[in-house]
Amino acid sequence: MCESVVAKKGDIKEHHFAHASNKESCYISPESILHKYAKEVIMKQKQIYLPALPNSDDKHEKLWQFHTVNPEQNVGNIRPDLVAISDDDMVFIEIAVTFFIHDEKRTFIEKLGVKTIEIDLSAFLDIDIEIPNSFISNFTIHHLENKTWIYPKEKIVNQNPSLNNQSIQQNLSNHLKESNAMSSNNPVFTVVGLHKSKGTFNNYGRSIDYDNLVVTAIRPFTDNQTREGAIGHTFEQFKIKGSENFHLYKDVTLPCQAEFVFEADFSSGKIKSKLTQLLFID
């Protein structure tokens, strides 16, 4: 790519991409940008989280790791976007932005009997986002709701895939807006309590024990709560994973105002915001 670009949806009928520097737009299809970028991410990392394999004894999502990931390799009369190979398995990976696997290709894949996953990135089409982008990279590798096994077949078919895609797109849009706002202007809350707690985290079928730093803060009511007639504030608890964080704040005199620094968290297979740091204000 000549420079960073921003995915746009303009007045013209086709999607296009504008340079981040606001120069003249490049009329390149989303397939040429999102599709290529997602493939590059997977080829570089050689690993990806995938939903539980249909009809198998393993009911949990897992991280698939490969020693080789080849792009656009001919297999019979089809050319999968990626052919990912591990020591004992092979997976076709298809990236869908504007075009999805058609029936003829699906039938051929079923005859081959090769595991095939389709990754739906169409939710990014209506969101202005710069590429290359760490958010899209993490989304491609970690997010699960937009990944569908083409083979083996799912026994239960999503009855309304358009609603599922709308949900993903809304989730993305909300998180991107929130992330952009927080990156330039972290929210400031009044911290009234800090303590440690223990918990167990289910990470793709594995139980992991961890320590939390629990932060109790006074948070003003949201705009929605205010419109509904509520006034004032509420107490809310946030968690920072890792007991090593506790010593950073143990000498702070409470109550005290602090900036709350959040980042995207994909550990559950869904997009969430997690608190990573407190910046206390003197």
Q: Are residues 142 and 224 in the same domain?
A: no
Q: What is the mean pLDDT of residues 36-47?
A: 94
User: Binning pLDDT at 50, 70 and 90, where does residue 278 land?
Assistant: confident
Q: Between residues 18 and 135, which one has the greater pLDDT? A: 135
User: Binning pLDDT at 50, 70 and 90, where does residue 280 land?
Assistant: confident
Q: Are residues 225 and 134 in the same domain?
A: no
Residue 5 lies in a domain: no
Q: What's the pLDDT at 148?
A: 94
Q: Are residues 107 and 208 in the same domain?
A: no
Contacts of 224 (CB under 8 A, 6+ apart): none
Q: Are residues 41 and 125 in the same domain?
A: yes
Q: What's the pLDDT at 13?
A: 33
Domain stops at, among 151, 178, 209: 151
Residue 101 lies in a domain: yes
Q: Are residues 147 and 34 in the same domain?
A: yes
Q: What is the mean pLDDT of the chain?
A: 75
Domain stops at, among 151, 176, 201: 151
Residue 24 lies in a domain: no
Q: Are residues 57 and 138 in the same domain?
A: yes
DSSP secondary structure string for all residues of 196-239: EEEEEEEETTEEEEEEEEEEEEEEEPPHHHHHTT--SEEEEEEE
Residue 243 lies in a domain: yes
DSSP secondary structure string for all residues of 87-130: SS-EEEEEEESS----HHHHHHHHHHT-EEEEEE-GGGTTS--E
The domain total for the chain is: 2
Range of the domain at 120: 30-151
Residue 75 lies in a domain: yes
Domain stops at, among 129, 151, 173: 151
